[in-house]
Chain A
Amino acid sequence: MNTQRKVNAPVVIIGGGIVGCATAYYLAQAGVQATLLEKSVLGNEASGRNGGGVRQQCRDRRERALAMASVKLWVALRTKLGFDIEYNQGGNIRMATTEQRMDDLRRESEEELQDGLAVEMWDRETLRRRAPYLGEVFIGGKYCATDGTANPLLAPRALGWAAKRLGATIMPRTEALHVQVQAGHVTAVIAKDPTGELVIETPRVIHAGGPWTPQLAQTLGVTVPIVPTRSVVAVTQRLPHLFDEFISSHDLGVYARQAREGHVHVGGAGAEHDDTFDQTTPLGTIEKIARGAAGMIPALRHVNFLRTWAGTIENTPDKVAIMDTVDGIGGYIIAAGFSGHGFCLGPIAGKLLTEWLVEGEASMPLEQFRLTRFQK
């Protein structure tokens, strides 16, 4: 028996990460009840497997305005989702160990101030005073007070739950197999859940499949240049309160935040490429994180690590997201390739995609996020 069930939806969202969940949430708020398809469960991939940073500073200039708008949404979401997502504006410090890095940060700060983002340059003395837990190796850093952190295990899911309460249809364990196109326009999505195949008739698809986006897009003849990259985080035992900021150092290759329960999460930052869908935790990466953590926060030197996890980030060639339509496939929008920045940008992406669908135009320009920029 292989009966295909048939349903319909005004919009189908493929992917239950933070971008998909936020889109479903804002669409539902605007009165559009989307159907969201997630191959496993909500927030199970990079959206739930990241450092939990919600950061505006140290962004590509194209993303900066989006990050700043997203933080405004995060502040609102803190009270609007009916669930505590542990969002905290504890600030963000990007540290430097070399004069050259300090110069880079200084140049960046000038651009950020021009763009209206309040950041401060901290010299060695200020860093010691404001962040005494940091290692002696740092000679200064850049600080953004309105940056912060949230719990990645909870925030994407809470957006999905809220969307569901507002009337969206959330379908976990449902994998989109194919997007049907007729006469140059999307007509349906064919999907598979544990009980079999189903057809969701729809005129619009938002494809937010993270690192799995290229495979499905390719069946439509659309090439999406996204490479999967492994990211690893290690978690200490519960510790007394040490710090509020999200901290990072590309020189040491690590970043960290202290979660509300006291565990310190340390992840690998910087240029390491580990292009794979493999989500096991490599021992060599644990080693690098451990060494970086000890240099960054000397108090961690004799602390036990309890857990590690690995996730799959979706990198584009320029590490900036794609939000675009495709010529010849009406109703099909790609929102993917957030390159490790999707956790912070998820809410604004969902909001802008909603405006685009409902009002025909997003309130912020999206030209910089065209897919075609890679086809030159």
Chain B
Amino acid sequence: MTEPIEIVVVGAGPGGLSAALAAAQAGARVALVDNNRQPGGQYFRQPAREFRGAASPHQRQGADLWQRVQAAGVHWWAETTAWGAAETRVLTLAGNHAPSSIQPPAIILATGTYERTVAFPGWTLPGVMTAGAAQTLLKEQHLLPGKKILLVGTGPLQLVLAAELVRAGAHVVAVLEGAPIFQKGAAHLGSLWGQWERVVEGASSWLTLASHAVPYRTSWGIVAANGNRQVAGATIARLDAAWQPVAGSEEQIACDTICLGYGFIPFTALAQLLGAQMTWQPELGGDVPTRDANLQTSAPGVYAVGDGAGIGGAALAQVEGEIAGIAAAAQLGHHADTAAQKIQALLPRLTRERQFQKMYAALFTPGAGLDTLARDETILCRCEEITQADVRRAIALGANSAGEVKSITRGGMGDCQGRMCSHLLAHAIARETQQTLAQVGRVRPRPPLFPTPIPVLGQVQAARAEESLR
């Protein structure tokens, strides 16, 4: 007879792995859930490793962490999607290794992010893709996304991807960094103290790009993707302090592929369904759950760590995971006496990573100009083919909230369930109606959070009944 699971950790990236390990080591019975077959999340499967042949420090670190997670007796529920949740701390799961629903005493959300799309003329042309999609092609298919690649976006991950593409044999025509990092960066150099791994990785990418003479421009961004049936080039421009393209600075650049790396949006839908209060923090990627010092959300027993609780990178996710793992286990009576002391010992690391997070946010949070690139005929919602003009028409009829525009236009009702477009629609409404994003509001997430078939939806309670019999 199996003992019931005490803590379910959702997401097996750096934060989730660390949380599962810390909780299991404290003596809790832990299950780790992830959509993927392999644990590690996006961070521990850096594409370049495939081409280097030998393990990178990241890969060794990830493999080591995974070994320890297994040794600690964590139940691994691979290829399992947490598609729904309720405020009673119920999770509904779809996967062969997991029950179809579970109501554990504690849940740790390490759900990560999805990539932030940007709407500009031509962004729906074949050849435009997110940086993450390009990485997946490299990693899983060993394919280059194109021959002449333009990278536009912000943040050091662009450099890393560019270097990986160059090493794999691609011609990277340019890397455009939207932020004025050389002007703003000096003020933040202190935050790099102790971040040697990051410094080394950045320097190595930088050297690769320099040796291949890849142009790197800061305060530059994309204005349009050009081409008939496929990307043939891009219109790029210098950006002002608000990331607004400077009129007259436009240049044409030939390329067949454009990779968008404009950052990430925390995936918070599960936290919201579980009843966690949210707060609007643009520098952390948007709406994030409020958390106490133990990283517990306002929903009792529900913790949130890592990028899914605010963009901060893998190292911050790991230390947050450890804290939440210890705290959740202690809440269930496992080593409750020593938990505070253990968490105390992690605080210097947490502080250092939070400083890095602040620097990152100060440097690489896109300005408002990024949301002004779409034209009337530009599609904002790809699934339902809703243009900016459609949004404008709905507003002319009196709509001024995210929910109303969705109702009238169908924008955000398609297969992506709003992940690609809800922020684009919200920005367009805010601009057109001269409101803040908070006033525009958000559309309430509802199960199923992912497209889910009837056989899965139809067995929620059967499984819950089974669960209670154990």
- Which residues of A are interface residues toward B (Cβ below 8 A)? 41-44, 48, 153-154, 157, 161, 164, 170, 172, 234-235, 237-238, 261, 263, 280-284, 286-287, 289-291, 293-294, 300-310
Contact = CB atoms under 8 A, between A and B. Distances in A.
A153 B461 contact: no
Contact of B408 (A157, A170, A280, A307): A157
Contacts of A284: 460-461
Contacts of A281: 446-447
Q: Which of B398, B404, B415, B454 has the most CB of A within 10 A?
A: B454
Q: What band does the interface of chain B fall in when counting residues whose beta carbon is under 8 Å from A?
A: 20 to 34
Interface stretch (B69-77, B84-92, B121-129, B188-196): B84-92
A282 B86 contact: yes
Nearest to A154: B408
Contacts of B446: 280-281, 307-310
A46 to B, nearest CB: 14
B439 to A, nearest CB: 10
Interface string B375-387: 0000000001000
Contacts of B459: 287
B86 A283 contact: yes
Given A261-B410, A309-B446, A302 B454 contact: yes
Given A153-B408, A286-B460, A305 B398 contact: no
A305 B448 CA distance: 7
B169 interface: no
B1 to A, nearest CB: 26
Interface in B428-461: 446-448, 451-455, 457-461
A150 to B, nearest CB: 14
29 contacts: A42-B398, A43-B407, A44-B403, A153-B407, A154-B407, A154-B408, A157-B407, A161-B398, A235-B413, A261-B384, A263-B413, A280-B273, A281-B447, A282-B86, A284-B461, A286-B84, A286-B457, A286-B460, A287-B460, A294-B458, A301-B453, A301-B455, A302-B454, A303-B453, A305-B457, A306-B415, A306-B417, A306-B448, A308-B446
A56 B74 CA distance: 58
B451 A305 contact: yes
Contacts of A235: 413
B469 interface: no
Contacts of A305: 448, 451-454, 457
Given A157-B397, A302-B454, A280 B87 contact: yes
Contacts of A310: 446
A164 to B, nearest CB: 8
B361 to A, nearest CB: 31
Majority SS of interface residues in chain A?
mixed
A304 B451 contact: yes
Contacts of B101: 283
Contacts of A302: 453-455
Contacts of B460: 283-284, 286-287
A290 B87 contact: no
A154 B415 CA distance: 21
Given A307-B446, A307-B448, A308-B447, 10 more contacts: A41-B399, A48-B407, A283-B84, A283-B461, A286-B460, A287-B461, A290-B454, A293-B454, A305-B451, A305-B453
B111 interface: no
A170 B398 contact: yes
Contacts of A238: 414-415
A332 to B, nearest CB: 28
A302 B454 CA distance: 6
Q: Which of B87, B457, B459, B461 has the most CB of A within 10 A?
A: B457
A290 B457 contact: yes
Contact of A280 (B86, B455, B458): B86
Contact of A300 (B404, B448, B454): B454
B458 A306 contact: no
A289 B455 CA distance: 11
B401 interface: yes
A73 B448 CA distance: 37
A170 B399 CA distance: 12
A296 B92 CA distance: 24
A291 B447 CA distance: 16
Contacts of B447: 281, 283, 286, 308
A294 B86 contact: no
A86 to B, nearest CB: 11
A290 B455 CA distance: 8
B461 to A, nearest CB: 5
Nearest to A42: B398
B448 A308 contact: yes
B408 A304 contact: no
Q: Which of B87, B460, B461 has the most CB of A within 10 A?
A: B460
Contact of A304 (B92, B398, B452): B452
Nearest to B84: A283
A170 B397 CA distance: 12
Nearest to B396: A161
A300 B455 CA distance: 10
Contact of B457 (A154, A161, A287, A309): A287
Q: Which of B84, B90, B417 has the most CB of A within 10 A?
A: B84
A281 to B, nearest CB: 5
Contacts of A303: 453-454
B384 to A, nearest CB: 8
Interface string B62-98: 0000000000000000000000101100101000000
